[in-house]
């Protein structure tokens, strides 16, 4: 309402101060007395309009379109950079460039003046949904028919594994380009299809005899798609879970019983399906607090902290709901089936015969031997986001591993974590923080118990076991939980 009323007041103020018949000081005082808030805003707008000035980009980058002479400002055309900027090159227009993560991402220290509707804009910019959180709704039916060979191979994966024909089918694939990938969802779907074929090609046989070279029919488009998304060219949580679902019945609510996988199906059992749809439900459980966190940070940048309490309360609720969902895993998935049959397909390029030297991408030999880890719960942006908002500080090898896992996240999700880390309004003495930390500790205990049930009980030498992400997982999980104390 404030913004809608500003324009006529701005013009009236301009008429008053520019009129030679009036004493400016008295008339301005009378004008502001009508509505101080609107009057002050109008004063700023009109001053910018009269002076024909604008705030220049602090980055001082020569190529930034926000530098140089500014055009005449229209009423309500504010000289402030929005947090929403489609250009990756000019994120420094609203942030100080930091050292970033290993991937060189900028640390987001926002200097923008947030408006009341920019929470939704920020969600859009970071590709987060108020309803779904970090989940991405990908519709396989909307993929161009050109990519039918990828879709068909993934659809037939279970039968190809049964006949021991996966490698033969992959070698017969045509080399497709990415030219017909149009939407963001197309690119995410392509990554899912390609890593499904890669995992099937590598791990459908004896792990100790996995091929050392990934055929160009997969390696070349997978590299191009991964570069587009800012993500590793390997199976990861972002594809196997976040982009790997659709509703069975659109008229029914989101639930594990109403979800079907898009790809990454290797077993002729419900267990393969159940593992990922329960994980998707856990991500969905966190959607409300993701929205609350983004809103709290957006408003806190303007010095308004009244949404912090709501965010902290939402974190507690979402963590409790997610813990309850996680306990449903054993309804249709046994530890034996997960560990011995499904888990190998979650490996990256650092297990089995690839453990020592990694893998070569055919046609891209200049990349060298790749030893990327596989899918890991540490690649979920959700818990790292909560850590960032609550200022949970990890140290040593745990911190390094968690930062590394961000390279397996979509670029925009990684940027959201960096922005919240730099801008969170929560301090160690903030009311409600301790309750949120207690819920986070309980969630991590539930996850630790689940991992012990599905992995620890299935191995002969638990102390030497590493996770699919490539880290000694039990000690890692215990240390991360301890950091929440």
Query: What does the alpha-carbon distance between residue 271 and residue 335 come to, in Å, rounded to a whole number?
Result: 10
Residues 291 and 425 in one domain: yes
CATH number reported for the structural domain that contains residue 164 in this entry: 1.20.58.480
Number of neighbours of residue 483 by Cβ within 10 angstroms = 17
Indicate whether 145 and 271 sit together in one domain: yes
Q: Are residues 153 and 16 in the same domain?
A: no
Q: What does the pLDDT read at residue 472?
A: 63
End position of a domain, from candidates 60, 79, 98: 79
* Tokens linked to 55: 């705030």
The domain in which residue 159 lies consists of 140-483
State which of 27, 48, 79 marks the end of a domain. 79
Assigned domain for 116 exists: no
Report the distance separating Cα 124 and Cα 119, nearest Å.
Answer: 9
The torsion angles phi and psi of 249, rounded to 5 degrees, stand at -125, 110
Pairing state of beta strands 360-361 and 213-214? parallel
Point out the domain boundary residue: 79, 103, 125: 79
183: left (phi over 0), alpha (psi -120 to 50) or beta: beta
Grouping H, G, I as helix, E, B as strand and the rest as coil, residue 169 is helix
CB atoms within 10 A of CB 469: 25
| pLDDT computed for residue 341 by the predictor | 97
> CA dist 22 to 18, 28, 32, 40, 56, Å?
9, 10, 15, 20, 34
Q: Is residue 101 part of a domain?
A: no
* 89: in domain: no
144 in a labelled binding site: no
Q: What pLDDT shows up at residue 467?
A: 53
Q: How many domains does the chain have?
A: 2
Cα pseudo-dihedral 386, 119, 411, 154, rounded to 10: 90
Q: What is the pLDDT of residue 191?
A: 99
Q: Is residue 370 part of a domain?
A: yes
3-state secondary structure of 361: strand
In a domain, 302, yes or no: yes
Considering the domain architecture, whether residues 400 and 253 belong to the same structural domain is answered as yes
Judge if 194 and 308 occupy the same domain.
yes
Check whether residue 65 and residue 160 sit in a common domain: no
- Evaluate whether residue 470 is within a structural domain: yes
- pLDDT, one tens digit per residue, over 122-166 is 999 999 999 999 999 999 999 999 999 999 999 999 999 999 999
Please check whether residue 238 lies inside any domain of the structure: yes
Q: Give the pLDDT score at 64.
A: 40
Helices then strands (H, E): number in the chain?
19, 4
Shared-domain flag, residues 256 and 370: yes
pLDDT given at position 465: 58
Query: What kind and span of H or E run contains 364?
Result: none
* Same domain membership, residue 148 and residue 75: no
Task: For residues 216 and 291, state if they share a domain.
Answer: yes
Paired strand residues for 260: 246
Per-run averaged pLDDT (10 residues), the chain, 485 residues: 41 42 42 43 43 36 36 27 33 35 41 59 96 97 98 98 98 98 98 99 95 98 98 98 98 98 97 98 99 96 91 98 98 97 96 92 95 95 98 90 96 98 95 97 94 89 54 68 72
Cβ 138 vs Cβ 192: under 8 Å: yes
Residue 115 falls inside a structural domain: no
């Amino acid at each position: 309402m404030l913004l809608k009323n500003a324009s006529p007041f701005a013009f009236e103020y301009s008429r008053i101060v520019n009129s030679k018949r009036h004493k400016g000081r008295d008339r301005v005082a009378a004008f502001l007395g009508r509505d101080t808030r609107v009057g002050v805003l109008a004063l700023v707008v009109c001053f910018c309009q009269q002076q024909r000035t604008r705030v220049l980009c602090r980055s001082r980058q020569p190529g930034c379109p926000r530098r140089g002479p500014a055009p005449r400002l229209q009423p309500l055309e504010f000289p402030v950079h929005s947090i929403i900027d489609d250009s990756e090159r000019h994120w420094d227009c609203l942030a100080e460039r930091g050292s970033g993560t290993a991937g060189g991402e900028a640390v987001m220290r926002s200097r923008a003046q947030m408006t009341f509707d920019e929470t939704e804009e920020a969600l859009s910019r970071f590709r987060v949904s108020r309803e779904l959180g970090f989940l991405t709704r990908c519709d396989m039916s909307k993929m161009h028919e050109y990519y039918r060979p990828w879709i068909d191979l993934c659809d037939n994966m279970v039968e190809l594994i049964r006949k021991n024909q996966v490698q033969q089918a992959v070698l017969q694939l045509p080399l497709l380009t990415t030219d017909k990938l149009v939407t963001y969802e197309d690119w995410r779907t392509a990554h899912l299809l390609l890593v499904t074929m890669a995992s099937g090609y590598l791990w459908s046989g004896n792990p100790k005899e996995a091929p050392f070279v990934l055929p160009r029919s997969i390696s070349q488009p997978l590299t191009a798609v991964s570069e587009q998304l800012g993500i590793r060219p390997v199976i990861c949580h972002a594809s196997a879970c976040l982009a790997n679902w659709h509703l069975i019945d659109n008229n029914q609510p989101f639930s594990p019983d109403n979800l079907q996988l898009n790809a990454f199906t290797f077993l002729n059992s419900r267990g393969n399906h159940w593992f990922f749809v329960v994980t998707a439900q856990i991500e969905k459980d966190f959607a409300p607090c993701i929205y609350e966190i983004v809103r709290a940070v957006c408003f806190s940048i303007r010095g308004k902290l009244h949404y912090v309490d709501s965010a902290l309360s939402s974190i507690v609720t979402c963590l409790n709901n997610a813990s309850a969902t996680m306990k449903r895993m054993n309804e249709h998935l046994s530890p034996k089936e997960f560990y011995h049959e499904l888990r190998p397909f979650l490996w990256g390029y650092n297990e089995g015969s690839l453990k020592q030297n990694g893998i070569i991408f055919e046609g891209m030999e200049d990349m060298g031997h790749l030893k990327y880890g596989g899918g890991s719960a540490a690649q979920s942006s959700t818990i790292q986001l909560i850590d960032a908002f609550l200022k949970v500080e990890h140290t040593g090898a745990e911190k390094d591993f968690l930062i590394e896992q961000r390279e397996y996240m979509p670029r925009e999700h990684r940027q959201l974590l960096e922005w919240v880390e730099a801008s969170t309004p929560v301090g160690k003495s903030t009311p409600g923080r301790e309750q949120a930390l207690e819920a986070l500790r309980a969630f991590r205990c539930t996850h630790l118990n689940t991992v012990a049930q599905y992995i620890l009980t299935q191995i002969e030498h638990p102390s030497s076991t590493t996770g699919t992400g490539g880290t000694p997982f039990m000690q890692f999980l215990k240390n991360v939980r301890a950091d929440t104390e």
